[in-house]
């Protein structure tokens, strides 16, 4: 296994609205009593990119999608509003490094949720400056519009799953990888923002200070479609439940099905390190050996090649 530690720019933003109880339409997850509710905290973090100087998005609203309501419109009252901004929340995804900025919290019925939708402010037409844009390191003053075909209607659909447990804080992090979420349109010019490079990670607790474990899951044998990455502590603490877990989705590039992942965890101690586990249908379980994590840095597992079961 190849391990390297590298600095990477991140932004950790806990995004929530006022604490409230939502009455769902039929088919929504969770119960109605206060004892069957949990607190959901949402964050966003970023991986390093040598290509982009800025990646600016203007978020108008954030909604949580219960299992079974994936086809609902973005204004469906069965989709709880996690955050709504009268003036769009403008975020430069490339700026912050391992910093958590709390914006509040929301109480939801315990149960399973399948998506987070980031609904973006539309870029204005004509010659006006875009509100969703990027700048390149080679031309840091030139704004290039970042097109988000579904981001202003049904939102950027960041796939879960998310489990909200009753009576606890449920910490969820969105991992924004500009290297795969931002796609050049080639000869036609411009860039698209796609949710394929934006992934969700569920944490066992909130992270004030953290490092990360990186890897790239791949297979040349067959399409693995999606896989679950779980990080467990090993040493003085041996987790049965992961300290961090999330689903990743493959795409076919460079003659293989592959997807990178980032898992954010507290720094290792002298008695506790971490192991990464990857499961995918039709493939054998992957298990790394125990690795250490340094606060504010990334431990890279390198290429993880799935073996047929």
Six-digit token string for 276? 């990464």
The structure tokens 């982009």 sit at: 52
Chain mean pLDDT for the chain:
83
Distance CA 251, CA 126 (A): 34
In tens, the pLDDT along 236-250 reads: 999 999 999 999 999
pLDDT at 23 over 60: no
In tens, the pLDDT along 34-92 reads: 569 999 998 888 877 889 999 999 999 999 999 999 999 888 999 999 999 899 989 88
pLDDT at 179 over 50: yes
Nearest to 116 by CA among 222, 40, 191: 40
Is residue 226 classed as helix, strand or coil in its secondary structure? strand
The pLDDT > 70 percentage for the chain reads 83
Give the right CATH number for 210-309 from 3.20.20.70, 2.60.40.290, 2.60.40.1120, 1.10.760.10. 2.60.40.1120
pLDDT confidence of residue 97: 65
How would residue 100 be classed by pLDDT, with cut points 50, 70 and 90? Answer: low
The angle formed by the CA atoms of residues 96, 98 and 146, to the nearest 5 degrees, is 40
Per-residue pLDDT, averaged over 108-134, amounts to 91
- Ordered by start, the domain boundaries in the chain are 1-208, 210-309
Per-residue pLDDT, averaged over 114-130, amounts to 89
Nearest to 181 by CA among 12, 6, 51, 13: 51
The pLDDT > 90 percentage for the chain reads 55
Six-digit token string for 114? 């399948």
Nearest to 263 by CA among 251, 246, 280: 246
Q: What are phi and psi of 35, to 5 degrees?
A: -70, -15
Give yes or no for a contact between 59 and 198, defined as CB atoms under 8 angstroms apart: no
Six-digit token string for 270? 């002298």
């Amino acid at each position: 296994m190849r391990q390297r530690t590298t600095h990477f720019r991140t932004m950790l933003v806990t995004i929530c609205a006022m604490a409230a109880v939502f009455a769902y339409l039929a088919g929504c997850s969770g119960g109605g009593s206060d004892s069957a509710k949990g607190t959901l905290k949402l964050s966003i973090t970023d991986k390093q990119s040598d290509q982009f100087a800025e990646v600016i998005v203007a978020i108008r609203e954030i909604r949580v999608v219960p299992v079974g309501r994936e086809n609902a419109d973005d204004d469906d009252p069965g989709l709880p509003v996690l955050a709504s901004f009268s003036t769009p929340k403008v975020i430069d995804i490339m700026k912050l490094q391992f910093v958590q900025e709390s914006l509040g919290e929301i109480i939801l019925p315990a149960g399973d949720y399948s998506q987070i939708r980031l609904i973006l402010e539309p870029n204005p037409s004509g010659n006006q400056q875009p509100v969703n844009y990027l700048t390149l390191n080679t031309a840091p003053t030139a704004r290039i519009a970042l097109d988000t075909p579904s981001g202003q209607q049904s939102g950027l659909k960041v796939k879960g799953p998310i489990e909200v447990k009753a009576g606890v804080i449920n910490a969820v992090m969105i991992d924004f990888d500009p290297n795969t979420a931002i796609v050049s349109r080639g000869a036609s010019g411009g860039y698209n923002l796609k949710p394929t490079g934006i992934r969700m990670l569920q944490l066992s607790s909130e992270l004030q200070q953290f490092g990360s474990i990186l890897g790239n899951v791949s297979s040349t044998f067959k399409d693995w479609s999606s896989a679950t990455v779980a990080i467990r502590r090993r040493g003085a603490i041996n987790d049965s439940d992961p300290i961090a877990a999330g689903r990743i989705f493959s795409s076919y590039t460079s003659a293989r099905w592959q997807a990178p992942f980032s898992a954010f965890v507290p720094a290792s101690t002298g008695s506790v390190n971490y192991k990464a586990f990857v499961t995918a249908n039709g493939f054998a379980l992957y298990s790394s050996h125990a690795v250490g994590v340094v606060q504010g840095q990334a431990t890279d597992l390198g290429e993880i090649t799935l073996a047929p079961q």
